[in-house]
Chains A and B, each alone.
Chain A
Amino acid sequence: MSLLEIKNLQVSVEDDRQILRGVNLTVNPGEVHAIMGPNGSGKSTLAHVLSGKDGYAVTGGEVLLDGADLLAMEPDERAAAGLFLAFQYPMEIPGVATMTFLRTAMNAQRKKRGEAELSTPEFMKRVREEAAKLSIDPEMLRRPVNVGFSGGEKKRNEVLQMALLQPKLAVLDETDSGLDIDALKIAAEGVNRLRSPERGMIVITHYQRLLDHIVPDIVHVFFNGRIVRTGGKELAHELEAKGYADYEQEVAA
């Protein structure tokens, strides 16, 4: 069975403007898909709709995660079912220590799945290990979630959460944006460590640069609310060279 199946997904925003115009995508366990597309084409909208954010109306199509109707679930149920979104713009939560947040999230998911909570020493051990791999200073974990974090720290914090929550399907929305090359490498290595035969990933990006570090199995070109082309990793290089001009002409024609 495929891990994720998106069939003819159509989505509008409040003023009835259609943003997603029939998205079809199948992700099998172990696959890493890249979605590339220009700004405003609807990539973040797709990520938000998958994770259940308010403010979007699904006007057609369906989405199955492990065969279950994803769109019928609450956002927290989707998370517990194994869906993770690394946000393009992670939110700040004043007064809540990152450590507290991580633990609350992990235990909330475990509880929803009927698993026992992590003991304090076990939790601390895991956090320390994963943080070290991402060169995250333990001091950062004592600070409130994302408050005063640099762009790189925020993105690494997203990857840290992904590593701790061990999702079945991870959607990374422009995890490369705002990162210098060193930070990009650390984040990409973090993502690569999580590649596994059971896990699927959708890497959303605007630039080809990230895909030098996270090498995808399949590349999709996203344009004007739908996938207009699918190919292997060489497609990313082609896009890098030619841009989206061809697609613009197609749409205009």
Chain B
Amino acid sequence: MPAVQETVEQVRSIDVDQYKYGFETLIETERAPKGLSEDIVRFISAKKDEPAWMLEWRLDAYRRWLTMEEPTWARVDYPKIPYDELYYYAAPKAFVAPKSLDDVDPEILKTYEKLGIPLREQEILAGVQRPEGASRVAVDAVFDSVSVATTFKEELKKAGVIFMPISEAVREHPELVRKYLGSVVPVTDNFFATLNSAVFSDGSFVYVPPGVRCPMELSTYFRINERNTGQFERTLIIADKGSYVSYLEGCTAPRRDENQLHAAVVELIALDDAEIKYSTVQNWYPGDSEGRGGIYNFVTKRGDCRGARSKISWTQVETGSAITWKYPSCILRGDGSRGEFYSIAISNGRQQVDSGTKMIHLGKNTTSRIISKGIAAGRSDNTYRGLVSAHRKATGARNFTNCDSLLIGSHCGAHTVPYIEAKNASAVFEHEATTSKISEDMLFYCMQRGLSEEEAVALVVNGFVKDVLQHLPMEFAVEAQKLISISLEGSVG
């Protein structure tokens, strides 16, 4: 209830077309030369002080990428990306991995402060910015291509949890990285994933040892700041037998007239009885109402329920980006494993969203659940694309899919493209889908009771997405709710 109230206030206090994270941080950066070549790949690898095997892995990917074509099957439309005009590496100048937050450029810290990210452990510990009783959150902050700070490192270490920038993990835990990197999303998986494998800059690495319940939420904030710079994060999370971890990812970028490319890869591995909960609040700059600027978001996210009775759950709130191309998926390999996908995807202005999930049932008695809520407003297009498949050996596979679309206004589009493949006769797949429009009568009813039109839309939309919001960690749910209202600003009337 108070969250709805806050949403309402938020809506009132913000101007139309206002992306509040659209500021730029003025710091000196060092960039790799423009364009992409083997030399650039070597440059990136050298900057990160990587071992030879990592460089080879990247070069391999780069060579494969040269032979690949950009996919065109998604319902998105954008001008050709000039891969040779982009910068593939940017880092704050004179960047040496900071030993403590005091070594981090104060301008960057200011940026994170503006974004409301509590980087300073002492502040978090003192509870300065957190509501009473809220859990503490360990944060890894990635600015352009490099990770600037990871908080709570010591406390996590005590629990045996490894949470660090992946560039550090490559050096400090090569055995784990080598074993798991590319084991869920193979180097050659798709055009964007392969590109990422060649040039990935940084991202987070998490390893939770057997039987450990990670003592706090882990979180990464990604910020693109540099102009014409692609961002290619790589995240790798391994939950060893019987462990549990909850991870949240947030992202923002300055407003710019030109488009910026973002192509991340996220790999999750859950071993026997382990559980990974991965939540995303994606708020990259969406471009202006005429479709100028905004992030092109081509992301490959996949989780492998490798062990028996393991569980992976994706929750996403997608409000930003000019183009979203994203299908967080689960491979249900272990017997009795479970995959979940909860999604709210909002498009407004000229945004194009093509998003969904794949649930690949390989093991026996595997279950999956998909709840997708698409909201289209303005002149946007919003497509749900999903695949549920059961392998021949996946006896007793079960899926439940619920896919709802809500249209605001009459210039937007919502599309649902579900694929179902059951190669096992015992598989039970259920699919529900609805498309509705926010009706004038419904809004009028709310307005007659004293709500402004925007408050009425916020209320109706919050009702529509409630089933998904409740899967987000509490404090992020409030944040997400605000974000939803802000992104629907000016969508009616």
Interface of A with B (CB < 8 Å)? 51-55, 74-76, 78-80, 84-85, 87, 90-97, 99-101, 103-109, 112, 117, 120, 144, 161, 165
Contacts and interface: CB of A to CB of B under 8 A. Distances in A.
A93 B445 contact: yes
Given A96-B459, A103-B1, 9 more contacts: A91-B442, A92-B442, A93-B445, A93-B459, A97-B1, A101-B449, A104-B5, A105-B446, A109-B450
A227 B453 CA distance: 33
B448 A144 contact: no
16 contacts: A52-B448, A75-B448, A76-B455, A78-B448, A79-B450, A91-B445, A93-B459, A96-B462, A101-B449, A103-B5, A105-B451, A107-B5, A108-B449, A109-B449, A109-B450, A117-B5
B452 A108 contact: yes
A106 B449 CA distance: 8
Contacts of B452: 74, 76, 108
A100 B447 contact: no
Interface in B79-103: none
Interface stretch (B21-29, B52-60, B376-384, B463-471): B463-471
B420 to A, nearest CB: 26
B437 to A, nearest CB: 13
Contacts of B459: 93, 96, 100-101, 104
A100 B450 contact: no
B440 interface: yes
Interface in B1-36: 1, 4-5, 8
Contact of B4 (A54, A84, A100, A117): A100
Given A96-B460, A100-B4, A107-B5, A51 B449 contact: no
Contact of A165 (B445, B449, B460): B449
B451 A94 contact: no
A120 B5 CA distance: 12
Contact of B448 (A79, A92, A94, A96): A79
B441 interface: yes
Among A51, A92, A101, residue most surrounded by chain B Cβ atoms (within 10 Å) = A101
B445 A76 contact: no
A93 B460 contact: yes
Given A94-B464, A100-B4, A104-B4, A53 B451 contact: no
Contacts of B449: 79, 101, 105, 108-109, 161, 165
Contacts of A106: 450
A91 B441 contact: yes
B375 to A, nearest CB: 12
A76 B451 contact: yes
B445 A54 contact: no
The B interface, classified by DSSP as helix, strand, loop or mixed, is helix
Chain B interface residue count: which class? 20 to 34
A161 B446 CA distance: 12
A78 B467 CA distance: 33
Nearest to B440: A54
7 smallest CB-CB distances across A and B, nearest first, come from A95-B463, A96-B463, A109-B450, A105-B449, A91-B445, A75-B447, A79-B450
A76 B8 contact: no
B464 A104 contact: no
A144 B460 CA distance: 11
Given A76-B450, A76-B451, A95-B466, A104 B8 contact: yes
Contacts, number: 91
Given A104-B459, A108-B8, A90 B445 contact: yes
B314 to A, nearest CB: 21
B440 A94 contact: no
Nearest to A109: B450
A104 B456 CA distance: 10
Given A107-B5, A108-B451, A144 B445 contact: no
A224 B440 CA distance: 27
B5 A94 contact: no
B447 A76 contact: yes
B450 A54 contact: no
A41 B460 CA distance: 33
A71 B452 CA distance: 16
Given A91-B442, A100-B1, A51 B448 contact: yes
A53 B444 contact: yes
Contact of A108 (B444, B450, B462, B463): B450
Contacts of A78: 448
Contacts of B4: 100, 104
Among A78, A92, A105, A117, residue most surrounded by chain B Cβ atoms (within 10 Å) = A105
Given A93-B442, A100-B4, A105 B463 contact: no
B447 A79 contact: yes
Given A95-B463, A99-B1, A104 B451 contact: yes
Among B441, B446, B464, residue most surrounded by chain A Cβ atoms (within 10 Å) = B446
Contacts of A75: 444, 447-448
B463 A104 contact: no
Among B440, B447, B449, B463, residue most surrounded by chain A Cβ atoms (within 10 Å) = B449
Contacts of B447: 52, 74-76, 79
Interface in B180-228: none
Contact of A54 (B444, B462, B463, B464): B444
Interface string B292-313: 0000000000000000000000
A124 to B, nearest CB: 10
A45 to B, nearest CB: 14
B450 A105 contact: yes
B149 to A, nearest CB: 38
Contacts of A97: 1
A80 B449 CA distance: 8
A85 B447 CA distance: 11
A93 B451 contact: no
Contact of B455 (A51, A99, A104): A104
A174 to B, nearest CB: 16
Nearest to A86: B448
Among B439, B450, B465, residue most surrounded by chain A Cβ atoms (within 10 Å) = B450
A93 B463 contact: yes
Among B439, B447, B465, B466, residue most surrounded by chain A Cβ atoms (within 10 Å) = B447
Contacts of B439: 91
A94 B445 CA distance: 13
Among B5, B448, B451, B462, residue most surrounded by chain A Cβ atoms (within 10 Å) = B448
Nearest to A147: B463
A8 B5 CA distance: 40
Contacts of A104: 4-5, 8, 451, 455, 459
